[in-house]
Structure 1
Amino acid sequence: MKKLLTLAMILLLTATNIPVVFAKTADAQPPQIDAAAYILIDAQNGDVLCEKNSQALVYPASTTKIMTAILALELGDLDEVMTASQRAIDAIGYNGSNIGIIPGEKIRLENLLQAMLISSANEAANIVAENICESTGEFLELMNRRAKELGAVNTHFTNPSGIHDDMHYSTAADLACISRYAMTLPKFREIVSTRSFTMPATNKHSKWPELKNTNRLLLNNTSELYEINGIKTGFTGPAGNCLISSARNEDGMELIAVVMGVKNENAAENVRKYSQELLDYGFTNFERVELIQKGRVYRNIKVEDAADIYGLDLVAEDSLVRVLPRDVSQRDLQEVSHINGEIHAPVNKGDRIGYVEFLKDGVSIGRVDLIAARDIEYKPAPVSLVELTQNPQTVIESITENLYFKIAVCCAALAVFVTIARQFVKALSRRSRSRRYY
């Protein structure tokens, strides 16, 4: 009877076109994506959740503009007015993306960044480069140097906009690294999350049309799991369709997906579809986990030569949060504490006594220092007659370094001083009285 009811329910769902949703299993796999390379990372710590060919060289196309924007924000003044040169306009490239800036046009850096990141305007990137530095060549040197400083060691830029050049390349992993840093810059974050904007009037344009963000995933996201908050599209013939996207959920978990080199039929739509599938996978199967909380008592340890018998609480100096699989059985975590040998008094509150390290699959994913929760005074052990006769100097030094001994000496000295002073005052008083009788 139960089998018949189950079969009837399946037939009913099929006939009414209601999708059958199965619970995700513990071994849920990343989506199958027809792209040259991809990577999905945790934006906070850079932990890789899944990837394919992420170290393979790819052409970055207009995702290059992320690096251009980083330098502009670090080195430029958003209110600086920059002038478009003929050279900057000519360097747009064949069929290069542009918004129609005219040579001699004067535009604020902030508006150029909006045009570059929201509408992917090649000429805006060129104008920024030749105004931030004395030459575009100098700007490119800074781009390549800064990229390596950020950890993008397999990246080489030959232009600030991303037009094709065989020597202009990167990797999905490098672009994720660059994007992760860019999203820590408030102005960058604000611009790439903007759905549309209108350039203000200039000396060459009395008005501009509304310019919409080229990131259609940002404009058309319907997910209930997360909100898209950036960041950049890219396309050239050799590069294919590329998309770097960032999303954040209500728990504060932010992921960055990089999909490069989509060249199949309907590639422009598929690159968005693949990015969404990656983000869906990440937010469905992973969560932020606080491995240790700042200020939490981790353990109590014995302190040698302590003035009391209560031991010392070690507390976490900081919190440690990592993105881990929701399925606890898939985490494979180890927690290892390291204490700095035998601890002797005195101990000051805040002293670093050791650290606790967390490992996933045998690889360290973070460590937090353990610090003393309170002061502990020194109290020497009683001295035996044998110790005194064998090592008198050591014993004397041990006693004289004791805080209580120092206090006792000070009190004794003060008592002697007071006694002498009182005797002196009495002597003066007697002498004064004796003189009165003569």
Structure 2
Amino acid sequence: MFNRKLVFYFLLFFFIAGQVTPVHAAAAVPKIYSQYAVVMDANSGELIYTKNQDKRWYPASMTKVLTAMILMDKVSSGAMMTASKNAVKKDASNSYFRLKAGEKMSREDALNALLILSCNDVAAMIAEHIARSESNFSALMNKKAKEIGAKNSHFVTPNGLHSSKHYTTTQDMALITREAYLKYPEVLKAMGTKSAVVRTSKRTVKLTSKATFHGMPYVIGGKTGYTNAARNSLVEIVKKGNTTLIGVVMKSTKSYAVKDIAAMTNYSFSMMETIQPVAAGQTAATINVRNTQVPLVVQNGISFSTKKDSSLPITIKNSFPRTPITSIAIGQPFGEVTVWKNGRMVGSSPLISTVEVNEPAAR
């Protein structure tokens, strides 16, 4: 009988024996033009491809991924924001949608304008609405980046307009984008949207992104960046099968940024494989029900994609309800097994009984 939750931890610092399925044959390591680059496994945060990944450079409008997450953290759905005289003076990112002082936008419309059309004035409006000034907002940006794990970044502007003190690394930018992918579905959706209609207090406008990554195979979202100082930058989220990768390049050209990420991610997919640390029917635990040993087996196998020869730890946890039981049927669920890679859950399955234990007969 169990009257409390039991959790068993098995830390596996080696590949668990089980079925292993290669994703692709290994490809040659690509040589790219972009000066700074990285590909990260979105599932675990593990780096697959690197080139000067810890060198600081200017992210330009990739910054807006971080601004978008803070927007979702700090502003309620449907809340309206007002463009100030300062916000509308920001350098234009496009020729047809510029805010006017006093114009209002909802959180949802601002998110789309920020990530589809990369509006610098919208970014400034968001910053002022949340923190009253861009300088105050930069403190929130740096706090958020630090919480995510970005160790070599410092953000000054909400839009990525140039400042010598505004910098990141491709590794940090991949971590920031991974956070958006894992925890901010609205941000991810906007990053993958090519065209949307937005409404302000004064007009309704259809916004369309010119970013070429929208036509690339397997790309589910991205964000471009450019300033004269930074040159071209790009982050993409690329999904193929059960593998999702995040590719980032900085100090590139418009055409090479797209080509390089395609080459980097194609190579990185070839360096991944699917493993099954927990198989269906495998006995995961044994419990005692009225002095009877009851084996619990895994109902559904758990598989996930990982870097070949990864050294990151895999953890398997069994957990059980607090409620005590005095009987159990064959096939009855009791508890759950979960699999974790580098601290993030990558799969789960119910545990089911293989033995029947009946209630005691009434007297």
Counterpart check, 1:123 vs 2:105: no
The C-alpha deviation readout for 1:387-433, integer Å capped at 9, x for no partner, is xxxxxxxxxxxxxxxxxxxx9xxx9xxxxxxxxxxxxxxxxxxxxxx
Q: How does 1:193-208 map onto structure 2 within 5 Å?
A: 193-200=192-199, 202-203=201-202, 206=203, 208=205
Aligned counterpart in structure 2 of residue 292 of structure 1, from 253, 278, 283: 278
Residue 265 of structure 2 is matched in structure 1 by 279
Q: Matched residue of 2:224: which SS?
A: strand
Q: When you count strand as a share of all residues, which structure comes out higher?
A: 2
Determine the C-alpha separation between the residues in 1 that align with 2:48 and 2:168: 20
- Whole-Å Cα distance in 2 between the matches of residues 334 and 69 of structure 1? 30
Distance 2:338 2:77 in 1: 43
Question: What residue in structure 2 maps to residue 138 of structure 1?
Answer: 136
Q: What is the CA RMSD across the aligned residues, in angstroms?
A: 4.2
Tell whether 2:281 aligns with 1:324.
no
Aligned residue identity for 1:297: Q
Indicate conservation of the 8 Å contact 2:302/2:349, yes or no: no
Give the Å deviation of 1:279. 2.4
CA contact (8 A) 2:276 2:303 kept: yes
Q: 2:37 maps to what in 1?
A: 38
CA distance in 2, matches of 1:147, 1:79: 26
Work out which of the residue numbers 100, 103, 118 in structure 1 matches 2:101: 103
With normalisation by structure 2, the TM-score equals 0.73
State the partner residue of 2:322. none
- Cα drift, residue 159 of structure 1: 0.9
Q: How far does residue 333 in structure 1 lie from its aligned partner after superposition?
A: 8.0
Q: Which residue of 2 aligns with 1:148?
A: 146
Quote the offset at 1:373 in angstroms: 7.2
- After TM superposition, the structure 1 = structure 2 runs for residues 50-69 of structure 1, keeping only pairs within 5 Å, are 50-69=49-68
Q: Per-residue deviation at 1:290?
A: 2.9
Q: Which moved more, 1:78-87 or 1:96-105?
A: 96-105
Structure 1 position 195, deviation (Å):
1.1
Tell me which residue corresponds to 1:258. Answer: 248
Residues 212, 335 of structure 1: alpha-carbon distance in 2 compared, 3 angstrom cutoff: closer
Superposition pairs of residues 319-398 of structure 1, within 5 angstroms:
321-324=303-306, 331=309
The residue identity in structure 2 corresponding to 1:67 is L
1:158–1:168: 8 Å Cα contact kept in structure 2?
yes
Determine if contact 1:320/1:366 at 8 Å carries over to the other structure: no
Shift of 1:282: 2.9
Instruction: Determine the structure 1 residue equivalent to 2:172.
Output: 174
Do structure 1's residue 247 and structure 2's residue 232 form an aligned pair? no
Residues 163 and 334 (structure 1 numbering): CA distance in 2 closer, same or farther, change over 3 Å? Answer: closer
Structure-1-length-normalised TM-score? 0.62
Distance verdict in 2 for CA 1:47–1:270, change over 3 Å: same
**Do the aligned residues in 2 keep the contact of 1:316 with 1:368 (CA within 8 Å)?**
no
Q: Could you tell me which amino acid in structure 1 is paired with residue 121 of structure 2?
A: E
Following superposition, the deviation at residue 355 of structure 1 comes to: 10
Q: CA deviation at 1:29?
A: 2.9
Q: In structure 2, do the counterparts of structure 1 residues 374 and 172 end up closer, same or farther at CA, with 3 Å as the change threshold?
A: same
Asked if structure 2 preserves the Cα contact closer than 8 Å seen for 1:45 and 1:322, the reply is no
Shift in CA distance, 151/338, structure 1 to aligned 2, threshold 3 Å: closer
Which ranges of structure 1 fall in alignment gaps of 5 or more residues?
Answer: 1-23, 340-346, 377-406, 412-438
The offset of 1:107, in angstroms, is 1.8
Aligned equivalent of 2:320: none
Matched, 1:113 2:92: no
Corresponding residue for residue 72 of structure 2: 73
Asked whether the 8 Å contact 1:55–1:171 carries over to 2, the reply is yes
Deviations 1:178-225 (A, max 9, x none): 11111232211221111112333532xx454x432142111x22x3xx
1:49 is displaced (CA, Å) by 1.8
User: Take 1:141 and 1:335, find their aligned partners in 2: how far apart are those partners?
Assistant: 34
**2:145 is matched by which residue type in structure 1?**
A
In structure 1, the residue matched to 2:207 is: 211
* Matched-pair identity in %: 26
Is this contact kept in 2: 1:317–1:369, CA < 8 A? Answer: no
**Structure-2 change in CA distance of 1:201 and 1:375 (3 Å):** closer
Deviation of the 1:25 alpha carbon: 9.5
Please name the residue that 1:238 is paired with.
229
Q: How many Å apart are 1:239 and its aligned residue?
A: 1.5
Give the structure with the higher percent helix: 1
Q: Which amino acid aligns with 1:324?
A: T
Q: What residue identity is the alignment partner of 1:61?
A: A
Return the alpha-carbon distance in structure 1 between the equivalents of residues 196 and 343 of structure 2.
44
Amino acid at match of 1:279: T
What is the distance in 2 between the residues matched to 1:297 and 1:365? 22
The match for 1:13 is: none
1:319 deviates by 6.9
SS at match of 1:129: helix
1:117–1:375: structure 2 CA closer, same or farther, 3 Å change rule?
Answer: same
Asked whether the 8 Å contact 1:37–1:52 carries over to 2, the reply is yes
